[in-house]
Amino acid sequence: MKNAEAKGGIAPLDVPIIDIDPFATEFLLDPYPNHDALRDPGPVVWLSQYEIYAMARFEEVRSALLDHETFLSGRGVGLSDFAKQEPWRPPSLLLEADPPLHERTRAIMQSVVSPASLKRLEPVWKLRAESLADDLVTRGRFDAVADLSEVYPMLVFPDAVGLMEDGREHLLVYAATVFNAFGPQNDLLAESLVAARDAAVWVARACKRENLCKSGWGMGVYEAADSGACTPEEAERLVRSLLSAGVDTTVNGIATTIHALTQFPDQWKKLRDNPRLVRRAVEESLRWDSTVQTFFRTTSRDVRIGGVVIPEHSKVLLFLGAANRDPRKWDRPDAFDIARSTSGHVGFGAGIHQCLGQMIARLESQLILTALMERCGSIKIAGPVRRRANNTLHAVESLPVVVSPSS
Ligand code: QZP
Contact 390, 176 (CB under 8 A): yes
Q: Domain-by-domain residue ranges, the chain?
A: 2-405
* Strand spans (E) along 58-144: 71-72, 141-143
The per-residue pLDDT for range 313-323, each reduced to its tens digit, is 999 999 999 99
Nearest CA to ligand 1 atom 13: 241
Q: What distance in angstroms lies between residue 225's CA and the mean position of ligand 1's atoms?
A: 21
Q: What distance in angstroms lies between residue 293's CA and the mean position of ligand 1's atoms?
A: 13
Q: What distance in angstroms lies between residue 256's CA and the mean position of ligand 1's atoms?
A: 19
| Residue 172 identity | L
The model's pTM is 0.97
pLDDT of residue 9: 63
Whole-angstrom Cα distance, residue 43 to residue 12? 15
Nearest ligand 1 atom to alpha carbon 291:
3
Nearest CA to ligand 1 atom 7: 245
Nearest ligand 1 atom to alpha carbon 93:
12
Q: What distance in angstroms lies between residue 244's CA and the mean position of ligand 1's atoms?
A: 6
Architecture of domain 2-405: Orthogonal Bundle (1.10)
| Residue 254 identity | I
Give the residue ranges of the chain where pLDDT is below 70.
1-10
pLDDT of residue 14: 84
Nearest ligand 1 atom to alpha carbon 295:
5
Q: Positive or negative, the Cα torsion across 257, 21, 1, 75?
A: positive
Q: What distance in angstroms lies between residue 241's CA and the mean position of ligand 1's atoms?
A: 6
Contact 244, 178 (CB under 8 A): yes
Contact 29, 387 (CB under 8 A): yes
Mutate to test the pocket of ligand 1, among 98, 178, 182 (most ligand atoms within 8 A of CB): 178
Q: What distance in angstroms lies between residue 264's CA and the mean position of ligand 1's atoms?
A: 30
Q: What distance in angstroms lies between residue 95's CA and the mean position of ligand 1's atoms?
A: 6
Q: What distance in angstroms lies between residue 276's CA and the mean position of ligand 1's atoms?
A: 30
Nearest CA to ligand 1 atom 6: 245
Nearest CA to ligand 1 atom 2: 241
Q: Positive or negative, the Cα torsion across 339, 358, 145, 187?
A: negative
Contact 112, 217 (CB under 8 A): yes
Q: What distance in angstroms lies between residue 397's CA and the mean position of ligand 1's atoms?
A: 21
DSSP secondary structure letters along 14-63: TS-EE---TTSHHHHH--GGGHHHHHTT-SSEEETTTTEEEE-SHHHHHH
Query: Where does ligand 1 bind, in terms of residues with CB under 6 Å?
Result: 92, 94-95, 178, 241, 244-245, 249, 292
Q: What distance in angstroms lies between residue 281's CA and the mean position of ligand 1's atoms?
A: 24
Mutate to test the pocket of ligand 1, among 106, 182, 241, 296 (most ligand atoms within 8 A of CB): 241
Nearest ligand 1 atom to alpha carbon 240:
13
Which among 61, 84, 137 has a CA at the least distance from the CA of 326?
A: 61
Whole-angstrom Cα distance, residue 367 to residue 44? 39
Contact 322, 38 (CB under 8 A): yes
Q: What distance in angstroms lies between residue 96's CA and the mean position of ligand 1's atoms?
A: 8
Mutate to test the pocket of ligand 1, among 65, 82, 92 (most ligand atoms within 8 A of CB): 92
Nearest CA to ligand 1 atom 12: 241
